[in-house]
Amino acid sequence: MNSLCTTDPYCAELGQIIQQQQLSALFQPIAALNHEQAYGFEGLIRGPSAHFLHSPINLFQTAERCNQLVELDIACRKVIIKAFVALNLPGKLFLNICPTSLMQPSFRPGATLAFLKEVGLDPHRVVIELTETQATTDYTLLAEALKHYREMGFKIALDDLGEGFSSLRLWSELKPDFVKIDKYFIQGIGSDPQKRQFVRSIQHIALNTGTCVIAEGIESSAELEVIQRIGINLAQGYLIGRPQTQPTAQLNLPALKTEKPLTIGKLSKHAGALLQIIPCASTQESNEQIWRRLSAQTDLAAIPVVENDKPIGLIKRSDLLELFSRPFSRELFGARSCATQMDRKPLIVEQATSLTELARLMTSSERGDLNDGFILTEQGRYLGMGTGRDLIRAMTELQISAARHANPLTGLPGNAPIQETISQFLNDQLNFTIVYVDLDHFKPYNDVYGYARGDELLQLCGQLLQHNVDPQLDFVGHVGGDDFILLLRSPDWQSRCEKMLSDFELHLSDFFNPEHIAAQGYQAQNRQGDLQHHPLVSLSLGAAQIVTEWYSNHHEVANVACAAKHMAKRQHGNSLFIEQRMPQNAASSQISNRYIDQALA
């Protein structure tokens, strides 16, 4: 606690506000992305309107200074609970509570339960959401306070993960049912690889600890789509609904792109390509029943345990064998639930996880995941399993294929992988944007500065392209020479292309002499051998949005990309041209412009 300030002019007014409950409740919906209704609502509080204490920040900071935090916390709970019941809102109520108020001597854990009984709200519908405004020092005392809530049926949520003083330690110590990722890591996630990696890591930890992740601060459809692809199913933010005194339970979510199941085949670079359908077990099955299954299927190393479609553990052949090899162990433990012997923290990955990321997770683990395998899920729902042996084989094949077809200068995939990826997108009906990237006036640069400097410029171009795409969604290929191909499924592909151009412009001065930069060009022979003034090298991007049902093969897509590139090269300097015309086969079918916009959205 900060030092108290009993001379604060607002102390008396705050006491009156608390005593007379001059507080109002607002509710912001939390959406389950696979439903149209709200999963629950976060209760928010406001002080008297047109007053300094109307703001919740001012309200709670004043309460802390005036040593009235516990009293305010209790008053807010009552106001929010009463309003939630009066509005007959569905789902769960997320009730904000400051951890420091739980550790005050005046804290009474039964007060909230008593009020719930008074208004007729089941505590199983209430989630205690810890809002960390101060560093938590006594984790044991906080955990003990929360234990009382859990015993009464409440769930626990940790707010603003990644923003607070000790949120990761709180997650480890308190083992909450929900974690809410701070909005900083959500906003702009589509164009920030580091934020995406952070959120993927949090989702991975959550899957392995039985925690539900809620993404806060969703303000755009692009952010919502990235969250959905990562596998997070609960979301909150202005796009879904703003805080209101009388919210609606029916949500008008933007149309989300439903990802088709990943195609399992040699071209797939996702964990789903390794999927094996393994019938799961339930906690009702005994160790003896599991051992009989393992004995009948000698190729099985483990069997997953699933509850409500979600994996909760893994029964390993080696563990049961070790148990039953002991004297009388089979008689003692054979009839017990298999949950007594399962690994409660197996490796669980979403099927959309890249093989590269999966390999990193398996090799960094201190446990026997490579031998025991891993559990595959789709948005947290059990699909099947994969084995370490199959992962090693797939990674080896990918490396051999990449080496065989990679451009020797940039290391990027060449023509064969480019064509294969386009064909796979077409087969899977995954709409995308193809961008033909070309360096303008590159031959004169080679003539003036030499091929070694030209190679360095090409390598820079390849690095900039890779840096500005999402490796989970997008593809960068090098056709050869100064020609590159981008296959982009990121919803913010246009801003990524613009960033490529600005980054190229920023680095270009490193490749020219000052006098050439001042003159914006130099003298070099043209193709006829005559001296001619040539501009500095620039970057042209020709983009075309591909609706897969309009194209039958990769040749047709390549033709559209070439046409877009030629239009881009007509423009002066670094440029992005976006093809807006429909292909002839689409136009001839008289598809309306409205349909086209929807298809490309």
Token pair of 357 as six digits: 């990321």
Q: Which two tokens mark 93?
A: 């109520």
Burial category of 429 from C-beta neighbours within 10 Å (exposed 0-12, middle 13-18, buried 19 and up): exposed
What integer is the mean pLDDT of 561-583? 89
pLDDT grade for 306, boundaries at 50, 70 and 90? very high
Rg (CA), the chain: 30
Task: Give me the DSSP letters along 391-422.
Answer: HHHHHHHHHHHHHHHB-TTT--B-HHHHHHHH
- Express each pLDDT in 10-43 by its tens digit: 888 888 888 888 899 999 999 988 666 689 999 9
Q: In what order do the strands lie in the sheet with 483-488?
A: 475-480, 483-488, 432-440, 538-546, 575-579
- 560 pLDDT above the threshold of 70: yes
Q: Tell me, yes or no, if the pTM score tops 0.85.
A: no
Question: Any residues with CB less than 8 A from the CB of 308 and at least 6 apart, and which?
Answer: none
Domains delineated in the chain: 26-44+78-235 (3.20.20.450), 271-394 (3.10.580.10), 407-600 (3.30.70.270)
| Distance between CA atoms of residues 369 and 434, nearest Å | 38
What percentage of the chain has pLDDT greater than the value 90? 38
Q: If pLDDT is split at 50, 70 and 90, which confidence band does 323 have?
A: very high
Catalogue the long-range contacts made by 407-412 (C-beta closer than 8 Å, 24 or more residues apart). 407/478, 407/480, 409/455, 409/458, 409/459, 409/478, 410/458, 410/459, 410/462, 410/478, 411/462, 412/462, 412/466, 412/476, 412/477, 412/478, 412/484
pLDDT band at residue 298 using 50, 70 and 90 as cut-offs: confident
Per the prediction, the chain carries an average pLDDT of 83
- Residue 169 CB coordination number (10 Å): 12
Are residues 180 and 214 in contact, defined by beta-carbon separation less than 8 angstroms?
yes
Rounded Cα distance between 404 and 394, Å, is: 15
- Least trusted range by pLDDT, from 40-44, 553-557, 590-594: 590-594
Longest dimension (CA), the chain: 95
Tens of pLDDT, residue by residue over 361-388, are 777 655 555 678 899 988 778 999 998 8
> In which band, very low, low, confident or very high, does the pLDDT at 592 lie, cut at 50, 70 and 90?
very low
pLDDT at residue number 381: 84
- Burial class from Cβ neighbours inside 10 Å (0-12, 13-18, 19+) for residue 207 reads buried
Q: What's the DSSP call for residue 552?
A: S
CA 198, CA 217: separation in Å to the nearest integer? 16
Give yes or no for a contact between 99 and 138, defined as CB atoms under 8 angstroms apart: no
Contact 127, 96 (CB under 8 A): no
The torsion angle over the Cα atoms of residues 181, 185, 186 and 192, rounded to 10 degrees, is -150
Q: How far is C-alpha 552 from the chain's CA centre?
A: 32
Euclidean distance between CA atoms 463 and 441, whole angstroms: 20
Q: Look up tokens 């990562």; give the residue.
A: 230
Give the pLDDT band (50/70/90) at residue 597: very low
The model's pLDDT over 428-466, given as tens digits with 9 standing for 90+, comes to: 778 899 999 999 999 999 989 999 999 999 999 999 999
What is the reported pLDDT for 265?
Answer: 43
78, two tokens: 């009552």
Out of 1-5, 47-51, 74-78, 122-126, least confident range = 1-5
Find the range with the poorest average confidence among 366-380, 391-405, 494-508: 366-380
Q: Average pLDDT in the 242-255 region?
A: 80
